[in-house]
Chain A
Amino acid sequence: MYNEKVMEHFTNPRNVGEIKDADAVGESGNFKCGDTMTVYLKVKDDVITDIKFKTFGCGAAIACSSVLTEMAKGKTLDEALAITNKDVAEQLGGLPPIKMHCSNLSAEALHDAINKYRQKSLAQQEQSR
Chain B
Amino acid sequence: MKNRLVYMDHAATSPLREEALEAMLPYLKEHFGNPSSLHTPGREARKAVNEAREKVARALNAEPEEIYFTSGGTESNNIALWGTVKKSPGRGHIITSAIEHHAVLDVCKDIEKSGYRVTFLPVDRYGLVSVEDVAAAIAPDTVLISIMMANNEVGTIQPIQEIGALARERGIVFHTDAVQAVGQIPVDVKKLKVDLLSLSAHKFNGPKGVGALYVRRGSALTPIFRGGGQERKLRPGTENVAGIVGMARALELAVEELPEKTRLLQEMRDRLIRELTAMEAVTLNGHPTRRLPGNVNVSFHYIEGESLLLSLDLQGVAASSGSACTSGSLDPSHVLLAMGLDHQTAHGSLRLSLGRGNSHEDVDYLLSVLPPIVKRLREMSPAYHRHQ
Contact surface of A with B, Cβ cutoff 8 Å: 2, 7, 10-11, 13, 16, 18, 27, 32-38, 54-62, 98, 101-102
Question: Could you tell me if B306 and A56 are in contact, using CB atoms closer than 8 angstroms?
Answer: no
Point out the residues of chain B lying under 8 angstroms from A60, CB to CB. Answer: 325
CB contact between A98 and one of B328, B343, B380, B381 (< 8 Å): that residue:
B328
Q: Knowing A16-B380, A18-B385, A36-B383 touch, does A56 contact B310 (C-beta < 8 A)?
A: no
18 intermolecular pairs with C-beta atoms under 8 Å apart: A10-B310, A11-B314, A33-B324, A33-B330, A34-B344, A36-B382, A37-B382, A54-B380, A54-B382, A56-B302, A56-B383, A58-B307, A58-B326, A59-B306, A59-B325, A60-B325, A61-B304, A62-B380
A101 to B330, CA, bound (A): 10
Q: Knowing A13-B380, A54-B381, A58-B323 touch, does A34 contact B332 (C-beta < 8 A)?
A: yes
Question: Could you tell me if B385 and A54 are in contact, using CB atoms closer than 8 angstroms?
Answer: yes
| Closest beta carbon of chain A to B128's beta carbon, Å | 26
Residue from B324, B328, B343, B380 whose CB has the most chain A CB atoms within 10 Å = B380
Q: Top 3 nearest A-B pairs by Cβ distance?
A: A58-B325, A58-B306, A38-B382
Point out the residues of chain B lying under 8 angstroms from A56, CB to CB. Answer: 302-304, 380-384
A35 to B343, CA, bound (A): 10
Q: Is B347 an interface residue (CB 8 A)?
A: yes
| Closest beta carbon of chain B to A10's beta carbon, Å | 6
A34-B332, A34-B347 given; 5 more Cβ-contact pairs under 8 Å:
A38-B382, A58-B306, A58-B323, A58-B325, A61-B325
Q: Knowing A33-B325, A34-B332 touch, does A59 contact B307 (C-beta < 8 A)?
A: yes
Q: Is B18 an interface residue (CB 8 A)?
A: no
Question: Could you tell me if B330 and A55 are in contact, using CB atoms closer than 8 angstroms?
Answer: no
Point out the residues of chain A lying under 8 angstroms from B19, CB to CB. Answer: none
Contact surface of B with A, Cβ cutoff 8 Å: 302-304, 306-307, 310, 314, 323-326, 328, 330, 332, 343-344, 347, 379-385
Question: Could you tell me if A16 and B303 are in contact, using CB atoms closer than 8 angstroms?
Answer: no
CB contact between B380 and one of A7, A34, A55 (< 8 Å): that residue:
A55
Residue from A18, A27, A57 whose CB has the most chain B CB atoms within 10 Å = A57
Point out the residues of chain A lying under 8 angstroms from B304, CB to CB. Answer: 34-35, 56-58, 61
Point out the residues of chain A lying under 8 angstroms from B343, CB to CB. Answer: 34
| Closest beta carbon of chain B to A5's beta carbon, Å | 14
Q: Knowing A13-B380, A34-B343, A35-B304 touch, does A57 contact B325 (C-beta < 8 A)?
A: yes
Point out the residues of chain B lying under 8 angstroms from A34, CB to CB. Answer: 304, 324, 332, 343-344, 347
A33 to B306, CA, bound (A): 12
A75 to B222, CA, bound (A): 68
CB contact between A10 and one of B307, B379, B382 (< 8 Å): that residue:
B307
Residue from B324, B325, B343, B347 whose CB has the most chain A CB atoms within 10 Å = B325
Point out the residues of chain B lying under 8 angstroms from A2, CB to CB. Answer: 310
Point out the residues of chain B lying under 8 angstroms from A27, CB to CB. Answer: 382
Looking across the interface, which residue of chain B has its beta carbon closest to that of A1?
B310
| Closest beta carbon of chain B to A12's beta carbon, Å | 11
Looking across the interface, which residue of chain B has its beta carbon closest to that of A11?
B314
Point out the residues of chain A lying under 8 angstroms from B385, CB to CB. Answer: 18, 38, 54
| Closest beta carbon of chain B to A36's beta carbon, Å | 6
Point out the residues of chain B lying under 8 angstroms from A36, CB to CB. Answer: 382-383
Looking across the interface, which residue of chain A has its beta carbon closest to that of B347?
A34
CB contact between B379 and one of A11, A16, A35, A61 (< 8 Å): that residue:
A16
| Closest beta carbon of chain A to B342's beta carbon, Å | 9
Point out the residues of chain B lying under 8 angstroms from A16, CB to CB. Answer: 379-380
Point out the residues of chain A lying under 8 angstroms from B344, CB to CB. Answer: 34
Point out the residues of chain A lying under 8 angstroms from B306, CB to CB. Answer: 58-59
Residue from B304, B328, B379, B384 whose CB has the most chain A CB atoms within 10 Å = B304
A85 to B343, CA, bound (A): 25
Point out the residues of chain B lying under 8 angstroms from A55, CB to CB. Answer: 380-382
A56 to B324, CA, bound (A): 13
Point out the residues of chain B lying under 8 angstroms from A33, CB to CB. Answer: 324-325, 330
| Closest beta carbon of chain B to A116's beta carbon, Å | 16
A98 to B310, CA, bound (A): 16
Point out the residues of chain A lying under 8 angstroms from B324, CB to CB. Answer: 32-34
Looking across the interface, which residue of chain A has its beta carbon closest to that of B344?
A34
